[in-house]
Chain A
Amino acid sequence: QKEVEQNSGPLSVPEGAIASLNCTYSDRGSQSFFWYRQYSGKSPELIMSIYSNGDKEDGRFTAQLNKASQYVSLLIRDSQPSDSATYLCAVYAGGTSYGKLTFGQGTILTVHP
C-alpha cells in the first residue's frame, strides 16, 4: 500500500462546476496535510494546509480532513480553466519519519470551457 494515494485521473470538469479531489494516507500518526497545485513545467505551489478534522475554506477552495478514515479531500468551487493543473496531496509522517513530507502521485485536473 502506498503511503499517500490520490484518486486516479485525469479529472475533467466543465467551467463553473465543482471539482472534487481525494487523497488517502496510511500513517495513522500523521498530523499535517497539504494540497499543492503544480502547473506543467513548474514547481508545486501551496493551496491549503489542514491540521484538524473538519472543513477549512479559503476562497473557492475547501479542504476536508477525516483522520478516523485517513482521508483528506479538496473541493474547488466555480472551477475555472486556470485551475487546470496537477493537484498534489502531501502528508507529514509521524513517528521516526517526523518531518518527512510524503506526496501522492497527483491528480491531473482539466477544466474545459
Chain B
Amino acid sequence: DAGVTQSPTHLIKTRGQQVTLRCSPKSGHDTVSWYQQALGQGPQFIFQYYEEEERQRGNFPDRFSGHQFPNYSSELNVNALLLGDSALYLCASSLGLAGRETQYFGPGTRLLVL
C-alpha cells in the first residue's frame, strides 16, 4: 500500500523565482492538504483540495496556489519567492471531508530560498 509521496525532496531557488511542488496521496485517499513548517514550529495549514477544488485556505497570500488533478494528486505553486518561504513543505492526504479523518503526511519537500 503506497503511502504519500512528494517530489522533489530538496529544492534551492532564488528570490523572485517560482516553484512547483508535487504530491501523490496515499492509495484510496481523495483529499490533499498542504502545510508549511518553518524550523522549530508546527506545520501551518496552507490549503486543502477535494474534488479538484480548494475547500479550505489558511492565512497565506495569493502567491501560494494549488491544483488537484482527477487522479487526486496535487501541486503547490509559489510565485515571487521570498527568503521567508524557506521551509519544509508537507503534503497530507485523507479520505473525505467529515472533519474527523486522520491525515497522513508525506516525507516533505525542503525548500531553500537564497
Contact = CB atoms under 8 A, between A and B. Distances in A.
Contacts, number: 57
A43 B90 contact: yes
Interface of A: 4, 31-32, 34, 36, 42-46, 49, 51, 88, 92, 94, 97-106
Contacts of B103: 34, 101
Contacts of A92: 99-100
B93 interface: no
A99 B99 CA distance: 5
Interface of B: 33, 35, 40-45, 48, 55-56, 58, 88, 90, 92, 97, 99-100, 102-108
A104 B43 CA distance: 8
B58 A45 contact: no
Contact of B42 (A31, A32, A104): A104
Given A31-B99, A42-B107, A44-B105, A99 B48 contact: yes
B45 A44 contact: no
A106 B107 contact: no
Contacts of A99: 48, 55-56, 97, 99
